[in-house]
């Protein structure tokens, strides 16, 4: 399983997502999975990688939280969670997204 966490330095939510992703991997018995953290630094790099905002999480190359309405670019991303909008998916949402 390939797990990527894409982010940019100006967004504080990526560190929350990183922690929740680690918790989810442990809970789903994927504690040996490696998370590739990729900093996106330019608009050109965002376009080249299909970066939908910070944080973006991809599992085996797929963003399980993409709705198709997001815009590519250097912006903080918002996720719909059971308690409302958040800067990161919940740990439970991440567990559900894992194979």
Number of domains in the chain: 1
pLDDT of residue 31: 82
Nearest to 78 by CA among 59, 60, 65: 65
Of all residues in the chain, what percent carry a pLDDT higher than 90?
93
Sheet holding 56-59, edge to edge: 35-39, 3-7, 56-59
* Owning domain of residue 89: 3-97
pLDDT at residue 19 above 90?
A: yes
pLDDT 10s digits, 70-97: 899 999 999 999 999 999 999 999 999 9
Average pLDDT score over the chain: 95
What is the C-alpha separation between 37 and 26, in angstroms, rounded? 17
Token representation of residue 63: 């963003």
How far, in whole angstroms, is CA 18 from its chain's centroid? 8
């Amino acid at each position: 399983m390939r797990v990527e966490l894409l982010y940019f330095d100006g967004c504080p939510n990526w560190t929350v997502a990183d922690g929740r992703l680690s918790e989810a991997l442990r809970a789903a018995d994927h504690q040996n999975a490696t998370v590739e953290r990729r900093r996106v630094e330019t608009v050109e790099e965002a376009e080249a990688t299909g970066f939908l905002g910070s944080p973006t999480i991809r599992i085996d190359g797929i963003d399980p939280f993409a709705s198709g309405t997001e815009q590519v670019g250097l912006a903080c991303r918002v996720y719909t969670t059971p308690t409302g909008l958040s800067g990161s998916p919940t740990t439970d949402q991440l567990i559900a997204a894992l194979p």
